[in-house]
Chains A and B, each alone.
Chain A
Amino acid sequence: MKERKITCIMCPKGCNISVTFAEDGSAADISGNSCPRGHEYAWNEVHHPVRTLTSTVRTASGRMVAVKSSVPVPKELLFDVMACINTVRPEEPVKFGDIVINNVCGTDADIVVTSE
């Protein structure tokens, strides 16, 4: 049996979750989480870690707006998604909730404006 300790990042509580693996390497048991979000996080963490990415985009008129990925993206693609985000210069008006990139880097996540 192998064990992996994970700090849950899904809320400020930061539970210490432990994942034990069966002989064949599949995750057998997840414990230490205080809620189902932690279970899901730990599951993802040992299979394919994902992160919500937040950044900024400069609009064509030079204004800075905040953006995020609509769903978490694979952790190993964070820098690819950043590179993609840093090439767009959307035309104004850019409003809260607008999508500036669809399906960024083939991840199924959209890049959405989160500021006014």
Chain B
Amino acid sequence: MSEARNVGILIIGGGPAGLSAAVSAYEAGARDILILEREETLGGILKQCIHSGFGLHRFGEELTGPEYAHRYIQKVLEYKIPYLLNTMVTGLAADKTVTAVNSEDGIFEIKAKAVILAMGCRERSRGALNIPGTRPAGIYTAGTAQKYVNLMGYMPGKEVVILGSGDIGLIMARRMTLEGAKVKLCCDILPVPGGLPRNIEQCLNDFGIPLRLSCTVSEIHGRDRITGVTLVSVDENRKPIPGSEEYVSCDTLLLSCGLIPENELSRGAGIEIDPKTSGPVTDENLQTSIEGVFACGNVHHVHGLVDDVSIQADIAGKAAAQYVGA
């Protein structure tokens, strides 16, 4: 391992939060900035959110996810803010030393004056859901399916059931329908849908896809590949109603059951986490319990709108610039 290099503001994650924070830190006078991103391009989750619905507040026009990211990436390029791609941060110490790894430099350390956490969130997976039955192939989180379809051009299946009425699942119901799949239904254990009314309308109703509320998957069928699910209605206490079971055949089950901030690094550094949001506790400048470490975007708390992510990241970027004395 070579000697640790020094950086003014180190940003972990090159999604909308990291990009906005970098741009605002630069505009507040900071110059010594570095973004570390584990994927091969900047943009974060927006790269796979090819649908429109972004930027109405921020830019006054409706953009697709990649277009929204493009605006910030252009700024980062214009300001010549340095970034490293394919670079995974594996550790953050309380003294703001960051450990990272990539194929070119191997494992290396960077000593930062200020750190901005912008790692985003991940999806709740099936483990968190606890459905009885076999463990066949064909079960994906909605975001994973989105990545397959939109970034890799691969359709995970032909006959789809969606569990959970969060926006990602709704968006994927439309996307897979447009690509020729039969989306049989979307169900949610809660009596109210999780996603936005506009997505119920344009992703389900537009295509005649039924939405079953107070209904969940009680069993998964299939040995190697999923062949179907048993649906069951639930009462107001979310208890299955006996006799309401219904078998629905499918080759794919998408789980759209919410997001959790990705805070392994924050925990490793000993940053105080708010049990309610699963994100770091922060002050009005988005500084965490460690001085000089800021958090913004979905790593802070799950945001519904990327516009709000950018607004929050602006504050964090500016505060970090002030902190390093730019």
Do chains A and B interact in one complex? yes
Show the binding face of A for B, using Cβ within 8 Å: 7-12, 14, 51-56, 58, 64, 66-68, 75, 78-79, 82, 96, 114-116
Stretch in B5-13, B156-164, B193-201 with 4+ CB within 8 Å of A = B193-201
Contact size class for B?
Answer: 20 to 34
Q: Which residue of chain B is the closest to A83 with respect to CB atoms?
A: B180
B153 at the interface (CB under 8 A from A): yes
Docked-complex contact A56 and B50, CB < 8 angstroms:
yes
For residue A79, give the distance in angstroms from its CB to the closest CB of chain B: 7
B22 at the interface (CB under 8 A from A): no
B178 at the interface (CB under 8 A from A): yes
Residues of B within 8 A of A66 (CB): 50, 64-66, 150
For residue A25, give the distance in angstroms from its CB to the closest CB of chain B: 23
Residues of B within 8 A of A14 (CB): 196-198, 201
Residues of A within 8 A of B202 (CB): 9, 51
Docked-complex contact B52 and A55, CB < 8 angstroms:
no
Residues of A within 8 A of B178 (CB): 53, 55, 78-79, 82
B29 at the interface (CB under 8 A from A): no
Docked-complex contact A7 and B41, CB < 8 angstroms:
no
Q: Looking at the complex, which one of B50, B56, B152 makes contact with A55 (CB distance below 8 Å)?
A: B50
For residue B150, give the distance in angstroms from its CB to the closest CB of chain A: 6
B53 at the interface (CB under 8 A from A): yes
For residue A46, give the distance in angstroms from its CB to the closest CB of chain B: 14
B104 at the interface (CB under 8 A from A): no
Docked-complex contact A7 and B150, CB < 8 angstroms:
no
Docked-complex contact A54 and B50, CB < 8 angstroms:
yes
Q: Name the residue in B41, B149, B198, B206 with the highest tally of chain A Cβ atoms < 10 Å from its Cβ.
A: B198
Residues of B within 8 A of A78 (CB): 178
Q: How far is the CA of A67 from the CA of B153 in the complex (A)?
A: 13
Q: Mask for B300-312, Cβ within 8 A of A = 1, else 0? A: 0000110000000
Q: Mask for B61-73, Cβ within 8 A of A = 1, else 0? A: 0101111001001
Q: How far is the CA of A67 from the CA of B150 in the complex (A)?
A: 10
Chain B contact residues: helix, strand, loop or mixed: helix
Docked-complex contact B198 and A7, CB < 8 angstroms:
yes
Q: Looking at the complex, which one of B51, B67, B198, B206 makes contact with A8 (CB distance below 8 Å)?
A: B198
Docked-complex contact A11 and B198, CB < 8 angstroms:
yes
Q: Name the residue in A51, A53, A68, A82 with the highest tally of chain B Cβ atoms < 10 Å from its Cβ.
A: A68
A-B pairs with beta carbons under 8 Å apart, 11 shown: A7-B197, A11-B198, A14-B196, A54-B50, A56-B153, A64-B150, A66-B65, A79-B178, A96-B70, A115-B50, A116-B66
Q: Mask for B45-63, Cβ within 8 A of A = 1, else 0? A: 0010011110010000010
Q: Name the residue in A96, A114, A115 with the highest tally of chain B Cβ atoms < 10 Å from its Cβ.
A: A115
Residues of B within 8 A of A11 (CB): 56, 62, 198
Known: A9-B201, A12-B304, A115-B50. A51 touches B206 (CB 8 A): yes
Q: Looking at the complex, which one of B41, B67, B153, B304 makes contact with A58 (CB distance below 8 Å)?
A: B153
Q: Looking at the complex, which one of A12, A64, A115 makes contact with B305 (CB distance below 8 Å)?
A: A12
B151 at the interface (CB under 8 A from A): yes
Known: A68-B52, A115-B47. A12 touches B196 (CB 8 A): yes
Docked-complex contact B73 and A9, CB < 8 angstroms:
no
Residues of A within 8 A of B53 (CB): 12
Q: Which residue of chain B is the closest to A57 with respect to CB atoms?
A: B153
Closest 9 CB pairs of A and B: A14-B197, A115-B66, A66-B50, A9-B198, A7-B201, A9-B202, A14-B198, A64-B153, A114-B64
B179 at the interface (CB under 8 A from A): yes
